[in-house]
């Protein structure tokens, strides 16, 4: 599965570069991925009993004229070859490739409470200085961290949570 997703992503990457508007292509790929990931579209497109013609019509109605013709072509090709289940993973791989190409990284920040605007900006600036890349912050709330936050980013894991500190104290006391 990963190999096919990587092939789709590589083809999309080449198409984005050839289009001369890779940033626009990137934004549209994020839009399509998030649309398919967060709605009933994914369930309809991957349902085995819905005819391919109806799936193609849905793709045209949802994305034609809103995204690059090459991106629509990718979606249509995947559906016509009964590889609908690879669309989201292929788009995600393409997005990662574009991020790497443009020197961007996403920092997944998990914290007990929502970060304030200034906190997020300060964290972003700090991470950009440390790794030398553009950083986008994606936050998720998880009350089990108790306080503080942890960051998953570009192969790094930074844990500054109260939960971790309590665990470390427990281990040292035992």
> What is the spatial distance between Cα 74 and Cα 173, in angstroms, rounded to a whole number?
57
Look at residue 118 in the predicted model and tell me its pLDDT.
Answer: 94
- The alpha-helical segments, DSSP class H, found in the chain are 2-19, 22-38, 41-46, 52-63, 69-80, 87-101, 117-131, 162-173
- Residue ranges and CATH numbers for the domains of the chain are 2-100 (1.10.520.20), 104-173 (3.40.30)
What the block records as the tokens of 81 is 């070859």
Q: Report whether 62 contacts 41 (CB < 8 A).
A: yes
Reported as a single tens digit per residue, the pLDDT across 56-113 is 898 888 898 899 988 999 999 999 998 888 888 999 999 989 988 988 998 999 998 8
């Amino acid at each position: 599965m990963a190999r096919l997703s990587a092939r789709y992503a590589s083809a999309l990457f080449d198409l984005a570069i050839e289009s001369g508007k890779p940033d626009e292509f990137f934004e549209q790929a994020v839009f399509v991925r998030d649309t398919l990931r967060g709605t009933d579209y994914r369930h309809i497109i991957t349902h085995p009993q819905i005819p391919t013609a109806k799936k193609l019509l849905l793709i045209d109605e949802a994305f034609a004229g809103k995204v690059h013709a090459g991106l629509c072509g990718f979606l249509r090709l995947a559906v016509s070859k009964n590889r609908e289940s690879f669309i989201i993973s292929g788009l995600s791989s393409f997005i990662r490739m574009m991020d790497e190409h443009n020197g961007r990284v996403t920092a997944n920040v998990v914290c007990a409470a929502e970060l304030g605007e200034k906190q997020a900006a300060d964290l972003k600036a700090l991470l950009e200085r440390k790794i030398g890349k553009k950083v986008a912050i994606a936050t998720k709330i998880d009350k089990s961290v108790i306080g503080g936050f942890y960051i998953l980013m570009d192969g790094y894991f930074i844990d500054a949570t109260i939960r971790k500190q309590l665990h470390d104290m427990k281990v040292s006391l035992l």
